[in-house]
Structure 1
């Protein structure tokens, strides 16, 4: 899958010598390949450039269909026989440089209301800017000084507050996004390199399904390659951070100051208390509850309530808290 053409342009294909020049790497295995896109190992095809920088992805490398792979010197022999190989001690940073060259975000150019509004029931308050290729559905209202990026699709009967920014996003019907929210900004990703960290281009989207509410000044990052998704009827409070590639289920409740790191998967009907913090690549099962201020560093099974830091099942947390209080009181006596 290419990055969504509503949000990104893709440059002309690159040959191996072009790739070597961009990355500073060395071609150690050649083939007649033209790279048209970058991709993760698991999603790469014959026209894709992928990379492996860590041995924990060795299995994904051996199964990858990538046409070209960037790897450290120690991993050359693990690359499938049909792929061309570029060696770099900064494989991820090299991949990021190619990604930034091949796939570039479409820049904002303002469109006229008649080009983006479904009909005259759409209200654009003063100062609204809407990019070319965007579309706003019937009955929606966009608050003053909000910026809707190129290609963004907004459904019917939505309410967008003032001063919000929405980019790289597909938004369903009856969605509410309150003032100052930032939807679709680049997720936090950087690759180590000799000259300092290199930004990893974020090539995915944000998808907000029907009936979602997003609180004021909340930030939801677009995916690094795939999508960040918020499920139907989920309600998110003010000042919440949701990182790239998160999948949030339906009818979840997320209270203020919660921070959810990248690539977290949340089931339906999950509740987060205020200031909960979730580590990356965590899975939280359906109907689980995360207490206020909890720091989640492990998967939470469906239906369980966890609390504390590091978070654990609430009965265990309370037993330990009572035991600790008793020990403190004994020492005082």
Structure 2
């Protein structure tokens, strides 16, 4: 469900009005008012579906599904918009239904914002409509808090921070220059060129999280990007859309986590670690500095290398290569 604190519905609209030039199957006058992923779309939602093989979408009662497949693969949909590029068609269509809430012009602190006792604001702070800031929180100079954002009690936020589409817990520390809740790098393409996929999710930062200076945490496409309790993130790290970071995770500087990755509780990421998208990093695992992680990492294991692999395997291979190199040098002398 789209969070109304951050997004406003522009519909309902008929399927025909959404896609006036498209080939439509089913009820072209069906009303659509929201958007959701295909597996959770309800009877008033728009979604897109790109089947793997001929897998049917039998469980979705969506008002409208954008798909390249035939109607028998989505029998419960009210209507279909047929497209060779469902994701890009969704990206071009969804903004007609849902719009991000914007700041009130020429107002630094919106009168509808709720500030509890003891909140301290630095010079030049901007706070959007219906934002909520808990007791004892500190907001640094020139920080921007977007509409609907909630910040917990005693949380401290540095200067020049931007927070949007986010819910922040109690006793957090967010250092200067960090950006939370902006759109991630989701791009679809068709004959008209690339188009940004709308991000309609949120960022959830749980209690007692530390996020260093100049970090970025992107909001999800539909689901939330979540950082769990007591996690500590160093400066200059990036967490992409839809990621789930567990409790007590340690992430050193320059770490980059690609979209839809899940990091288990208590994992440790060394400096400059890079993780590919849709990976699972097991609880209690360790990724050594500068590792490039292309595979899932089991719980409790230590991996390193480029590409990363279990540390014992990496060290054995490195030793073998060193012996071979030394032998080749000696043979050439």
Helix, strand or coil at the partner of 1:204:
coil
Which residue number in structure 2 is paired with residue 295 of structure 1?
Answer: 292
Helix, strand or coil at the partner of 1:80:
coil
In structure 2, C-alpha distance between the alignment counterparts of 1:66 and 1:312, rounded to whole Å: 42
In structure 2, C-alpha distance between the alignment counterparts of 1:61 and 1:315, rounded to whole Å: 44
- Structure 2: gaps (5+ residues): none
In structure 2, C-alpha distance between the alignment counterparts of 1:26 and 1:219, rounded to whole Å: 40
Deviation at 1:113, TM superposition (A): 7.4
Question: Which of the pair is proportionally richer in helix?
Answer: 1
1:206-258 Cα distance to aligned partner (Å, 9 max, x none): 00000000000000000111100000000000000000000000000000000
In structure 2, C-alpha distance between the alignment counterparts of 1:107 and 1:16, rounded to whole Å: 26
Which residue number in structure 1 is paired with residue 10 of structure 2?
Answer: 11
Deviation at 1:115, TM superposition (A): 3.9
Helix, strand or coil at the partner of 1:9:
strand
Deviates more, 1:79-88 or 1:254-263: 79-88
Matches within 5 A, 1:56-95: 56=52, 58-59=54-55, 61-72=57-68, 74-95=69-90
- Structure 2 residue 242 is matched with structure 1 residue 242: no
In structure 2, C-alpha distance between the alignment counterparts of 1:132 and 1:67, rounded to whole Å: 31
Which residue number in structure 1 is paired with residue 192 of structure 2?
Answer: 195
Matches within 5 A, 1:230-309: 230-309=227-306
In structure 2, C-alpha distance between the alignment counterparts of 1:15 and 1:89, rounded to whole Å: 21
2:164/2:181 contact within 8 Å kept: yes
The TM-score, its normalising length taken from structure 1, stands at 0.94
In structure 2, C-alpha distance between the alignment counterparts of 1:297 and 1:58, rounded to whole Å: 28
1:76/1:87 contact within 8 Å kept: no
Helix, strand or coil at the partner of 1:27:
strand
The TM-score, its normalising length taken from structure 2, stands at 0.94
1:18-72 Cα distance to aligned partner (Å, 9 max, x none): 1222xx421133265211111111111111111123x327546233222211111
CA RMSD in angstroms comes to: 1.6
1:42/1:60 contact within 8 Å kept: no
1:41/1:60 contact within 8 Å kept: no
2:58/2:76 contact within 8 Å kept: no
CA shift in 2, pair 1:143/1:264, >3 Å: same
- Structure 1: gaps (5+ residues): none
Of 313, 317, 320, 1:320 maps to: 317
Deviates more, 1:251-260 or 1:35-44: 35-44
CA shift in 2, pair 1:82/1:198, >3 Å: closer
1:38/1:98 contact within 8 Å kept: no
In structure 1, C-alpha distance between the alignment counterparts of 2:321 and 2:57, rounded to whole Å: 48
